[in-house]
Amino acid sequence: MYTTKFRIFYVIVFILLLNPLIQGQQDEDLPLSGAIEYALKNNYGIIISRGNSQIAGISNSWGNAGRYPSIGFDVSNRNSYDITDPNITNNFVTAGLGLQWNLFNGFRVWITKEQLAQLENLAHGQSAVVIESTIDDIIMGYYLVLLQDKKLEVFEKVKTLSEDRYKYELARKELGGSLTYNVLLAKNVYLSDKANYLTQEVVYRNAFRNLNYLMGFESERFWNFTDPFEADSMEYVFGDLLEKMKSDNRTLKNQYINLLLKQSELNIKKSSLYPSLSLSAGIEDNWSRIANPAGNSSTGNGVSAYGNLNLSYDIFAGGTKRRAVKIASINEELAQTEINQIIHNLTNQLYNEFDYYNVRRELLDVERESLQAAELNLQIAEEKYKSGVINSFNYRDIQLIYIQSALSELEAIYNLIGSHTALTRLTGGFITQ
């Protein structure tokens, strides 16, 4: 019995000691910069793209391009028997060290090395696109959590007002100053607002989990968000944005690298039109043994060295090489067309986001004024309702107007943050920063 009591005591003490640690984990501060830093370290997409960049860097070597010779060692053993006289056996052992070196193949080595360097740059560029996309998702995910939290506060405030109204009608009914109909109406409104609050709690938790996923943490990791829920309202000059987009947009930069790759591919195809010169050199050691019927055997040993040059040139191959050059040339032209298409498309996106940003700045001012009027109207309506100047229907309509104004103001902030983030991404601001 005493042992059981002591165990319970120890468990309680352990929980009390552990509780501050749990609270410390739950209350860990998370600014937006910290969320981005965690994502850069832990996000799955960034880790994969970083690995692809490392692979491209390892592949970018002169050895892969074919600049250096290949050296190999070979040993072979061959045995034979004379069918007419099985007593005669032949044994041959050959060992050799050889070198193969392509001295010239139409500058293909240098072109290939340049192509490998471009592939490495493209891998880095694609990784930068993934990083930009992740940063965009983190920013919007971070502020989405704040948005859902602010919405939760609005629903909680309205739920509290509805609960006070329901209690007020109950108290009036007990004193004979209210009808059952009014009490039931107030109860229905309260339950509806409570249901909205509970639903918003789920939406808030989902946004929280999605952000944790982007940062590479477990779903139930708790954070204390320190950045305020507000949007920058700075002014942009479209000409400056367009210039930055053309010089810093990662998608456009990657397409320029793709154009260089197409040009390298064209040069490689052209290199096949040149003759090729190769060198083969080495040393061989041959050992042989022949056994005869008389029981005698003879052996032999010889060492030889060789060095050969080989010049080859395809005089006619059905026009395949010329066709390959023509196809590569068309691919180069298509890559240039794709660049023009991307510039046109990005310019349209920039125009759209620039217009959205300016409109959303004005809409935010409108929504703030609307919310101020709705809050004041709600305060006045609460006093009028309790004094009997307005009925429950009028009071509920004013509550709904307040809810809509509060939510619209929050959405306006979030939309303005989204436009600012989109402009930053289109102009390559994330990577530049």
224-225 and 29-30: which strand pairing?
parallel
In a domain, 315, yes or no: no
- Portion of the chain with pLDDT greater than 70, in percent: 90
- Portion of the chain with pLDDT greater than 90, in percent: 61
**CATH number, domain containing residue 133:** 1.20.1600.10
In a domain, 309, yes or no: no
Could you give the CA distance from residue 119 to residue 260 in angstroms, rounded to a whole number? Answer: 10
- Mind listing the pLDDT tens digit for each residue in 10-57? 334 344 444 444 444 456 999 999 999 999 999 999 999 999 999 999
In a domain, 292, yes or no: no
Residue span of the structural domain in which 396 resides: 26-76+109-282+320-432
In a domain, 60, yes or no: yes
pLDDT at residue 290 in the model: 73
Q: What is the pLDDT averaged over residues 292-316? A: 79
DSSP code for 389: S
Tokens (6 digits) for 123: 């891998």
Question: Number of structural domains, the chain?
Answer: 1
In a domain, 4, yes or no: no
In a domain, 90, yes or no: no
Q: Which one, of 284, 248, 267, 420, lies nearest residue 329 by Cα?
A: 267
CA trace torsion 54, 427, 137, 432 (10° rounding): 50
In a domain, 391, yes or no: yes
In a domain, 82, yes or no: no
**For residues 139 and 32, is the Cβ–Cβ distance under 8 A?**
yes
CA distances from 368 to 153, 154, 159, 375 (A): 17, 15, 22, 11
Tokens (6 digits) for 185: 């109406």
Residue 7's pLDDT band (cuts 50, 70, 90): very low
Residue 309 CB coordination number (10 Å):
10
- Mind listing the pLDDT tens digit for each residue in 212-258? 999 999 988 899 999 999 998 889 999 999 999 999 999 999 999 99
Tokens (6 digits) for 3: 């042992």
Choose between 411 and 430: higher pLDDT.
411
Tokens (6 digits) for 377: 């109207």
Residue 1's pLDDT band (cuts 50, 70, 90): very low
